[in-house]
């Protein structure tokens, strides 16, 4: 077995994948420990740890405390979804982006956010994103003030909460749900769709190191398309 020429974690990752592809390490086999693999590849143990951790997150490896690291018996291909800036998403289509804040309130966390936060106030926002002056997305957003106190003084009149949060609050965990729903009269009107038209809905919650940040419900017209890469 040949050691990699460079010692970055990406090189270690590619060497691990190569050995799996050529069946040096087959599904279910226990891999060498991090210390031994680092010595073989001529790199720090932390470099190996990062490569293995990333591959475990992707479903290629299985890591269990005291049981070591195994090649996954049934590797799971996991799609990579990025939280997009709506502005960038619109401008990527060469359309002109525009944003309108429709409603802005500070109120007690509603009952349907109890699964994310037990108490405290939230900033409640309703926004409309446009592409070439046509409705692109209706954004209903709740921002936790215990998690993001700076949101209390932000008006969101000139910058969307999507854009502001991506710049101001790095997130560590995301929960995303996709669904097709029948538009309410209000949503249909904002999206310029017929009443009871089907719409594409994304519900997204984010956390930073365990602290709840925000929940967003995003409505798109039925023509909207999303692509994931894996």
CATH number, domain at 194?
Answer: 3.40.1410.10
Partners of 126 in the β-ladder: 103, 140
> pLDDT tens for residues 134-180?
999 999 999 999 999 999 999 999 999 999 998 888 888 889 999 99
Q: Give the C-alpha distances (Å, rounded to integers) separating 196 from 60, 137, 178, 179, 187.
A: 43, 17, 18, 15, 9
81 lies in a domain? no
Note whether 153 and 200 are same-domain residues.
yes
Residue where the block lists tokens 């190569």? 18
Q: So what's the pLDDT on residue 118?
A: 81
What average pLDDT does range 85-113 have in this prediction?
94
Q: What is the CATH number of the domain that holds 54?
A: 1.10.10.10
Claim to verify: residue 112 and residue 20 sit in the same structural domain:
no
Identify the band that residue 229 occupies on the pLDDT scale cut at 50, 70 and 90.
low
Q: Pick from 1-5, 77-81, 113-117, 223-227 the range whose average pLDDT is largest.
A: 113-117
The residue from 48, 71, 94 where one domain ends is: 71
In this prediction, residue 4 carries a pLDDT of 42
Q: Which residue has the higher pLDDT, 202 or 75?
A: 202
96 contacts 133 by C-beta, under 8 angstroms: yes
> pLDDT at position 214, please?
96
Same domain, residue pair 64 and 118: no
Identify the burial level of 228 via C-beta atoms within 10 angstroms of its C-beta, where 0-12 means exposed, 13-18 middle and 19 or more buried: exposed
Structural domain of 125:
86-220
**Residue 106, beta-bridge partner list:** 123
Asked whether residue 185 is assigned to any structural domain, the reply reads yes
Whether residue 1 lies inside any domain: the answer is no
Q: What is the mean pLDDT of the chain?
A: 89
Q: Are 121 and 105 in contact (CB under 8 A)?
A: no
Backbone angles phi, psi at 68, to 5 degrees: 85, -170
- Residue 123 has what pLDDT? 97
Q: Domain check: are 136 and 203 in the same one?
A: yes
- Would residue 21 count as lying in a domain? yes
Place of tokens 């401008």: 91
pLDDT band at 64 (very low <50, low <70, confident <90, very high): confident
106 contacts 122 by C-beta, under 8 angstroms: yes
Q: Of the given ranges (6-10, 11-15, 143-147, 207-211), which has the lowest mean pLDDT?
A: 6-10
Is 105 found in the same domain as 215?
A: yes
| 96 burial level (CB within 10 Å; 0-12, 13-18, 19+) | exposed
pLDDT of residue 171: 83
Q: Confirm whether 188 is domain-assigned.
A: yes
pLDDT of residue 181: 95
pTM (2 decimals)?
A: 0.68
């Amino acid at each position: 077995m040949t050691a990699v020429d460079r010692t970055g974690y990406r090189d270690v990752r590619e060497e691990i994948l190569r050995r799996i592809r050529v069946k040096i390490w087959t599904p279910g086999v226990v891999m060498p420990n991090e210390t031994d693999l680092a010595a073989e590849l001529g790199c720090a143990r932390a470099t190996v740890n990062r490569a293995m951790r990333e591959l475990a997150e992707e479903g290629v490896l299985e890591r269990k405390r005291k049981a070591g690291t195994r090649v996954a018996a049934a590797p799971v291909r996991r799609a990579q979804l990025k939280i997009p800036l709506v502005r960038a998403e619109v401008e990527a289509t060469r359309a002109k982006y525009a944003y309108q804040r429709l409603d802005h309130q500070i109120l007690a966390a509603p009952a349907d956010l109890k699964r994310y936060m037990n108490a405290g106030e939230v900033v409640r926002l309703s926004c409309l994103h446009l592409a070439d002056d046509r409705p692109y997305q209706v954004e209903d957003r709740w921002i936790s003030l215990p998690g993001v106190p700076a949101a209390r003084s932000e008006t969101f009149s000139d910058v969307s909460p999507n854009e502001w949060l991506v710049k101001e609050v790095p997130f560590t965990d995301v929960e995303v749900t996709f669904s097709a729903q029948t538009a309410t009269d209000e949503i249909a009107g904002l999206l310029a769709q017929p009443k009871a038209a089907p719409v594409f809905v994304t519900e997204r919650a984010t956390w930073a190191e365990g602290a709840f940040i925000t929940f967003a419900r995003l409505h798109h017209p039925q023509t909207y398309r999303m692509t994931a890469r894996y």
